Amino acid sequence: MSTDAPPRKSRRGLGIAGILLACGAVAVVVTGISAREKSSADLRHWTDEQAISSVAVTRPDGKVLTNTLDLPGRLEAYSRAPIYARVSGYVKSWSADIGARVKAGQVIAEVEAPDLDQQLLQARADLASQQASARLSEATLNRRKTLLASNFVSAQEIDERSADLANKKAAVNSGQANVERLEALAGYKKITAPFDGVVTERNTDVGALISAGSSAGPAMFVVSDIAKLRVYVNVPQTYVPMIKIGAKAVITLPEYPNRSFPATVEASSQAVDVSSGTTRMQLALDNAKGELMPGGYANVKLSLVRDEVSLYIPASALMFNRSGLRVAVVGPDDRVQLKTVTIARDLGREIELASGLSPDDRIIVAPPDGIADGEKVRVVGNDAGKAGKPTASEKQDVKG
């Protein structure tokens, strides 16, 4: 009977155990390596995900706006007449001071013109002499004609007498015209109001020397019709096409802070001032109660109504660099496309665009610094953004 059998079984068991231990160690190593590789892949994926910028998008807001344009204006009398003397002399009297309401044809001052009075007396005397001479010539001609049949006078003498009479009648007509001219001038010794209105200036006094037709100095009086006022406002060239003749406006004044006055656009200069880039427009303002004063400052609020639809974007969406003004648009593949845009108006938080975008573009509301054309982005929030269709009319105030 052999005694070596049990040791062989023991060695075989030890070999199997060693193999199992080796396999377990290999499995542990493989599992560890696999876990590290998965962790590394997850880290790379997370890093790549973090490298993609997350952006919020919106669509251009298309709407028809009813804007109001606020501009400074100046009130002027609807009619204003500086009054100068037509005759030279001295102010004899005046009867209308500043603020006085006058009627058309009312005498507001009288001028004493001694030189004119003497000229008129001389002209009348000359006319009387010319008329007497003409009457004598006519009587002489008639007597000569009665002697013509008896041949006591010749036909030549009759012709000469007739020519002399015609000459003297012409002198009478000339003298009469001179008298009428001087009488008309004498009528201007009374200074009258040209229309119903208010005396807004008086620059003369009793005894003041007046020169006929002198416009070098101030007018004797200024009469203004303030029952209706003109409001003049300089409108920037951009807004002129939006303001039509007959359009309504609202006038406010510093002396009446809680009131407003309606006005109507009456005329446009149809020209742009090269120095200011504005067009002068005239508005009519009723002032039947006389509450408003010509020459005063006014704030004019004009309504701007446009039929076309404009696109509006948040001001934060604008990017400015060497390429100009651009907007970052997200394409269907979530890649950035930088589009160049043109601004029509800056409304503060909103920008009105003249060109560059379509209503369906998805624009980045606040593009990150350094964002580049073709860059991949992640859209967060509402992917569609606002609808780019026209909305109901809105009102905005535009300060001029």
- For 61-88, the pLDDT digits (tens) are 876 666 788 999 999 999 999 999 999 9
The closest of 53, 152, 145, 155 to 364, measured between CA atoms, is: 53
Decide if 198 is inside a domain.
Answer: yes
Last residue of a domain, one of 273, 288, 305: 305
Reading the block at residue 105, the tokens are 């044809």
Residue 367 DSSP class:
P
Say whether both 95 and 184 belong to one domain.
yes
**Are 287 and 307 contacting, i.e. CB atoms less than 8 angstroms apart?**
no
33 found inside a domain: no
What's the CATH number where 316 sits? Answer: 2.40.420.20
Q: Kindly state the average pLDDT of the residues 218-243.
A: 92
Across-strand partners of 263? Answer: 249, 285
Q: How far is CA 176 from the centre of its chain?
A: 56
Assigned domain for 28 exists? no
3-state class (DSSP) for residue 104: coil
Of 305, 336, 370, at which residue does a domain stop?
305
Counted domains in the chain: 3
Give the highest mean pLDDT range of 64-68, 185-189, 231-235.
231-235
Rounded mean pLDDT, 265-274? 94
Which band of pLDDT confidence, cut at 50, 70 and 90, is reported for residue 398? low
**Residue range 248-255: mean pLDDT, rounded:** 94
Over 60: is that where the pLDDT of 112 sits?
Answer: yes
Domain hosting residue 116, numbered range: 80-202
Of 51, 62, 56, 75, the closest CA to residue 256 belongs to: 75
Whether residue 43 lies inside any domain: the answer is: no
Instruction: Tell whether 328 and 258 lie within a shared domain.
Output: no
The stretch 30-59 carries a mean pLDDT of: 65
Residue 48 pLDDT: 52
Residue 209 lies in a domain: no
Burial of 199 (0-12, 13-18, 19+ CB in 10 A): buried
Which pLDDT does position 399 carry in this prediction? Answer: 56
Contact 100, 199 (CB under 8 A): yes
Q: What percent of the chain has pLDDT over 70?
A: 79
pLDDT tens column, 14-24: 666 666 666 66
Determine the pLDDT at residue 241: 86
